Chain A
Amino acid sequence: MPQPPAPGPEGTRPPDEVPGPGAPDDGPGPQPADDGPGPGPAGDLAIETRGLTKAYRGGQLAVDDLDLAVPRGSIFGFLGPNGSGKTTTIRMLMGLIEASAGSARVLGQPMPAAGRRVLPKVGALIEGPALYGFLSGRDNLRRFDAADPYADPRTRTARVGRALERVGLAAAAGKKARAYSLGMKQRLGLAAALLQPRELLVLDEPTNGLDPQGMREIRALIRALAADGTTVFLSSHLLDEIEQVCTHAAVMARGRLITQGTVAALSATVLDSRGHGRLTVTTPDTADTVRVLKEHGLTGLQAADDRVTGELPSADAAMGTSGGGAPPDLADLNAALVHAGVRVRGFGTERASLEDIFVQLTGEGFDVAG
């Protein structure tokens, strides 16, 4: 990794700005000169990559020519099947591994070159939590905080306490981390990312291992952080999670970026491309239902147990069928079913979920991309 060769202990670099003794941790004051170029060309992007590529030994591309643009202030969902290159991308963004080609900017500054200036403003949870089992939860946080040369030791105890409270671990803070459940470890990992006020949070599957209650709490926490202006970069394979909290999303598959944009735009694009929605009828008389719906021009009919689903025809496709012209009114369809003696328990359309979009974009295959 092309870190600039430091001429000595990195920590002895003279500070850019020396506030008076006893100045508060986050006190107002002039920004240090190295705070970056301000709102430059990349000023409104929290993360920007250009042609980012990582080839592992053997030449296999884990990440292939990735152009990612994460707007500041967004909650950005980073989606992809296992092995699609999400974690590799995050590791490159955090300066843990070196890119084979391309460049990455985080908070407007090049990574990994500006890591020492950028990373204190970034909280990260990468590929699950990693803790010292023989230390208590609180001491784990103290340890990670001590590793940050920008962290004021005088406020350490208070900040550690606040972070523990935010993730609901205050009561278990004195327990050895090896006795923690997976969910508790996950919370402690999150707490480590929240030790300082951050401009960017990079969270790799933050709700992994949490119970439903914990997931809700973490989602609420993420929303609260975002409401305060923190950009959240959230990688997950839980699609409803992304759908619930994210404003933007990107989808990766086999190391390549398939699409990115706002969640609403993604849904709209995919909805357009696949027709006008899907009708679902719940009924014990599936055979009759299929017959009636087919007469009304529905396509892709599938019957399973007591459910029949099918694509509503678009306007032009409906021309040649009975009724002609406009696509069938849902009320008429329902009436037609009832007239045909079909007993209808449920009737309605589904809008395309992020899951549908995801599967459509990345393929149905269950096999991990190798």
Chain B
Amino acid sequence: MSQAEALPRTPRPLWSLGLLRSEITMTFRRWRTLALLAVLAGVPVVVGIAVKIETGDGGGPDGGGGQGGPAFLSQITHNGLFLVFTSLAVTLPFFLPMSVGVIAGDSLAGEAHGGTLRYLLVAPAGRTRLLLVKYAATLTFCLVGTLVVALSALLTGALLFPVGEVTLLSGTSVTFAEGLLRALAIAVAVALSLVGVAAVGLFVSALTTSGIAAMATTVGLLITVQILDNLPQLHALQPYLFSHYWLSFADLLRDPVYWDQLQKNVGLQALYALVFGSAAWARFTTRDVTA
């Protein structure tokens, strides 16, 4: 180890991806992440079994459904694929964004709390690069979490109920293959719906050195926003709440697809990512790292 060897090695753009890979691997190796994914995978199983028992009692397939969000519940007994739509509709208001809030909230604050942030920064990871890597890893979790729900629901649905042609909300029927494709599109739409929460969580995480506080704040904001979105008096404000267009994914089950709300949702999520991403960047790149 001589000084001559210590001349700077040349960085390659691809080497930067090493940090992203390390971040994603680390995120999905943590017990906390695995527990969150297990909960997400469990929701469709519970819903599926509940529906099975309910309808097994002979209480007609159209008996109790229809109250929770889009009218998917009643369809599950006809077609297991509808369990995918139902499960995503059930998890999107709370379970999915909550788990995203946990991951995003802990992303920077957890490193700061453990002190590892200072070692990443002197490595030097670069503050902007680290922020982007953290956001990218959180977005990866959004997608994986959604897919876990969808896959678990698909398996449960196929095991408990018949599968076959899918009757869309508009009444037309499509093949099972196209139904699967639409399910995948819905999963992607749901994952995109979480982009805004992830950005808010990242921003909160950049403010504090306590991972728990950041997680709690993000989840608290999530609940607050959901409540605000249900107060009729705040009608003017609601189109700007990140959860406002979440259930628009149901429009993918129409023929033809209603794109209007879906596009608004993607635009709103992009706006949140931009605003809160910039705020997180402004804060994180100027912050004194004293932990």
Which residues of A line the B interface, CB within 8 A? 1, 3, 5-6, 9-19, 25-26, 31-32, 34-35, 91, 94-98, 115-117, 119-122, 124, 126-128, 130-135, 142-153, 189, 192, 194, 196-199, 225, 228-230
Contact = CB atoms under 8 A, between A and B. Distances in A.
A144 B30 CA distance: 17
A11 B13 contact: yes
B8 interface: yes
Contact of B288 (A31, A96, A122, A128): A96
Contact of B121 (A5, A26, A96, A152): A96
Interface string B112-131: 00111011111111111110
B208 to A, nearest CB: 16
B49 interface: no
Contact of A35 (B1, B3, B8, B121): B8
Nearest to B136: A9
A11 B121 contact: no
Interface in B1-55: 1-3, 5-13, 15-19, 21-22, 26, 29-31
- Which 8 A-B pairs have CB atoms at the shortest separation, nearest pair first? A11-B16, A130-B115, A147-B123, A119-B124, A229-B3, A147-B125, A97-B288, A146-B22
B13 A152 contact: no
Contacts of B16: 9-12, 149
B286 interface: yes
Given A12-B16, A122-B122, A197 B11 contact: no
A1 B8 contact: no
Nearest to B22: A146
Contact of B18 (A117, A153, A199, A228): A153
A191 B5 CA distance: 18
B174 interface: no
Contact of B9 (A26, A95, A132): A26
Given A149-B15, A230-B1, A91 B290 contact: yes
Contacts of A197: 1-3, 5-6
A132 B11 CA distance: 25
B290 A144 contact: no
22 contacts: A1-B285, A3-B286, A11-B19, A12-B16, A13-B11, A96-B288, A115-B124, A127-B118, A130-B115, A130-B119, A131-B116, A133-B114, A146-B22, A147-B130, A149-B126, A151-B9, A189-B119, A196-B9, A198-B1, A198-B6, A225-B1, A229-B2
Contacts of B285: 1, 3, 5
Interface string B259-291: 000000000000000000000000001111110
B177 interface: no
Contact of B119 (A95, A144, A149, A152): A144
B18 A96 contact: no
A196 B6 contact: yes
Contacts of B7: 26, 31, 35
Interface of B: 1-3, 5-13, 15-19, 21-22, 26, 29-31, 114-116, 118-130, 132, 285-290
Contacts of A120: 8-9, 123-124
Pick from B7, B8, B15, B125 the residue with the most CB of A within 10 Å: B8
Contacts of A95: 121-122, 124
Contacts of B26: 132, 135, 143
A351 B17 CA distance: 57
Given A31-B7, A130-B118, A132-B26, A116 B126 contact: yes
B126 A199 contact: no
A150 B8 contact: yes
Contacts of A31: 7-8
A26 B194 CA distance: 43
A117 B8 contact: yes
Given A10-B126, A35-B7, A192-B119, 19 more contacts: A3-B286, A9-B129, A9-B132, A10-B129, A15-B11, A15-B12, A91-B289, A116-B124, A121-B6, A126-B119, A142-B22, A147-B19, A147-B119, A147-B123, A148-B123, A149-B124, A153-B18, A197-B6, A229-B2
A98 B288 contact: yes
Nearest to B290: A97
A52 to B, nearest CB: 15
A140 to B, nearest CB: 9
Contacts of A196: 6, 9
A124 B122 contact: yes
A150 B119 contact: no
Contact of B124 (A12, A131, A147): A147
A98 B22 contact: no
